[in-house]
Amino acid sequence: MSRVGLLALGALAVACVLPHLLGSNYAVNVVTMILFTAFLGQSWNIAGGFAGQTSFGHVVFFGTGAYASTILHVSHGWSPWAGWIVAIGAGALVGLVIGVLSFRAGLRGSYFALITLAFAEVFRIVANSVEFTRGGLGLLIRADPRPENFQFRNPIWFYYLALALVLASLAIAFWLTRSRFGAQLAAIRENEDAARALGIDVLRAKTVCMTISGAMAGAGGTFYAQKYLYVDPSIAYGVEKSVEMLLVSMIGGAGTVFGPLVGAAMLMGLGEITRASSNTQGLSLIVYGVILIVIVAYLPDGVIGLFRRRSGERGAPRA
Amino acid sequence: MLSFDILLAGVINGLAAGAIYVLVAVGLTLIYGVLHIINFAHGSLLMLAMYGVYFLFRSAKLDPYMALPIVMAGSFVFGYLLYRLVIGRFSHGKDENILLITLGLSIIIDNAALFLFTGDTQTIDVPYAGEIVAIGAAFLPVAKLIAFVAALALCAALGLFMQRSDLGRAIRAVAKERQGARLVGIDVENVFAVSYGIGIACLGAAACLLMPSFYVSPSSGHAFVLIAFTTVVLGGMGSFLGALVGGFVIGITESLGGLLLGEQLGQIGISLIFILILLVRPTGLFGGGR
């Protein structure tokens, strides 16, 4: 077995026993949220990093997934597990629709960023206004910690679920670095017109990419709703979560397999440190804004790029 | 059904709100027209200017209208330096980099405001706050009427400046053809920074006109980001006339949307216009084919 394979197996073994070593539920929760944030970041990274379609409204898929399973569960008595499948489908569908609409209209770069932001805003306003989401009050899921309800007395189970999500997302990202489809996305990211001239069906590739990305974020929505047992329009469709997804991916390394994981660990770690040292809000995000600017200016491959450059290893297909 | 009077009042209220949007959007469209960048920090910088007005009033008892020249000058210098020291230096001239850098700036500014000023909503208490004038069927606070007139006057002044002054001509030259402008001896980087500064100075003016009838909190900028972009996209990126018409259309849409659909759902009109324009005619109403 290769060195990289052994390393991956080792990391997986550590990840499996980690929650038992941490001791406190609080620590388990923090690590769970790191994994979950990494998963959402990977969803952004599939579209924003690998395909270069910078979205400012990725929360729209997350929120739609959260609402889909929660409404089915609370108002129609569905099992959240069945709802989860619907949520993934709903996220994929929204990704498909937004992708088809925006890409057919030829929106790129900043324009694509703006229209995704506007779509998220439309969803937020609708969720705030209509009856079946209970508007601004939000939806409360009744606490009943049984596995069949997607609720667990021991937070370790959420940790393992988040770990499974991250592994699945890493597999998708890894596939993109090796597959023909991933190569097409990289070509589109680097030069869309050249990619089209080479015979790549640009519209189809970008739309498929958004659909995958939307399905992933939709899956994240159900996880979040079941973990906190609550959804409201600003959680589900607030711009903060869109920015968080973009940040962890950009800072860790957009278009790299492990970038979102590194970025999420940094963001959450920084958040914990600043929370411990002062009670004021916002400090960690100030630091993060600064890091974002430095990354954009000097490190297009993110923090991951630092290590890659040093070890001289050939990285993901990113110019 | 709503009576004609109520609709008319809605339109007049919308025009008053629209004047402020025009002022915010003019700065954004100038920055886009010249630098070809989307200034995502626009809302955050407006919020910062509003805090400036608030603190000038609190500490020096300076009336927001009296503070207008000071805040505009301060905003200009701030914007100029921001471009010179951060945006221009770190973007390496790539559009998408600038989008992310201005996003980073807005994250920093918003959270610094939260850190320094707390999340509380702040208002200033001017003596004329309660005064109201009747215009047709509408009752408009004096502050909004002043904002309407002043915003239009400022736009006219900016238009004149762009048409007649040497600097205005240089800015237009750079907007049209960077290389050519450089060849005839225009300091392009300086024009970029000046244009950014003027764009932010417009925000300073908007802040002074807003504060007597509005409030400020670290998230105030958010309310204006999408509105400003919608205005600019609707009118056509880089078009002054577009920003003018767009601002009023948005103001009226928002006001009538609120009347017809209620407070919550009424906000949807702006986002829908934004999406539709981007999908159907991304060059906007008055934008040239780019």
Task: Dump pLDDT digits (tens) for B43-57.
Answer: 999 999 999 999 999
Closest partner residue to A125 (CB to CB) among B38, B271, B282 is: B271
* Cα distance between residue A244 and residue A289, in whole Å: 11
Averaged pLDDT for residues B101-113: 92
Q: Which parts of chain A register pLDDT below 50?
A: 312-319
Q: Which tokens hold the place of B120?
A: 């509380």
Q: What percent of chain B has pLDDT over 70?
A: 97
Q: Quick one: DSSP state of residue B135?
A: E
Give the model's confidence band at B16: pLDDT under 50 very low, under 70 low, under 90 confident, else very high. Answer: confident
- Which 3 state secondary structure label does DSSP give B134? strand
* Cα distance between residue A289 and residue B26, in whole Å: 26
Residue B213's pLDDT is 84
Which of A103-107, B34-38, B224-228 has the lowest average pLDDT?
B34-38
Residue A314's pLDDT is 43
Residue A228's pLDDT is 94
CATH of range A14-311; options 1.10.3470, 3.30.70, 1.10.238, 1.10.357: 1.10.3470
Cβ separation B111–A286 shorter than 8 A:
yes
Question: Which of B264, B272, B276 should one mutate to test binding to chain A, selecting the residue with the greatest count of A CBs within 10 A?
Answer: B264
CATH 2.30.30 assigned to domain B4-280? The reply is: no
Alpha-carbon distances of A113 from A197, B15, B165, rounded to whole Å: 25, 29, 35
Question: Exposed (0-12), middle (13-18) or buried (19+): which is B103, by Cβ within 10 Å?
Answer: buried
Q: What is the ipTM of this complex?
A: 0.85
Return mean pLDDT, chain B. Answer: 87
Residue A313's pLDDT is 43
Residue B288's pLDDT is 58
Largest CA distance in chain A: 57
Cβ separation A109–B271 shorter than 8 A:
no
* Cα distance between residue B54 and residue B71, in whole Å: 11
Alpha-carbon distances of A100 from A94, A201, A210, B268, rounded to whole Å: 10, 13, 9, 22
* Cα distance between residue A167 and residue B51, in whole Å: 46
Query: pTM for the whole thing?
Result: 0.89
Cβ separation A297–B119 shorter than 8 A:
no
Residue A1's pLDDT is 59
B151 has a pLDDT exceeding 90: no
CA atoms within 13 Å, Cβ hemisphere of A72: 21
Residue A281's pLDDT is 64
Residue B136's pLDDT is 73
Residue A312's pLDDT is 44
Residue A144's pLDDT is 86
Contact A155, A94 (CB under 8 A): no
Question: Exposed (0-12), middle (13-18) or buried (19+): which is A2, by Cβ within 10 Å?
Answer: exposed
Distance from CA of A240 to the nearest CA of B (A): 10
Cβ separation A288–B89 shorter than 8 A:
no
Q: What percent of chain B has pLDDT over 90?
A: 31
> By C-alpha distance, which of B150, B160, B126, B140 is closest to B202?
B150
B261 has a pLDDT exceeding 50: yes
Distance from CA of B66 to the nearest CA of A (A): 33
B2 has a pLDDT exceeding 70: no
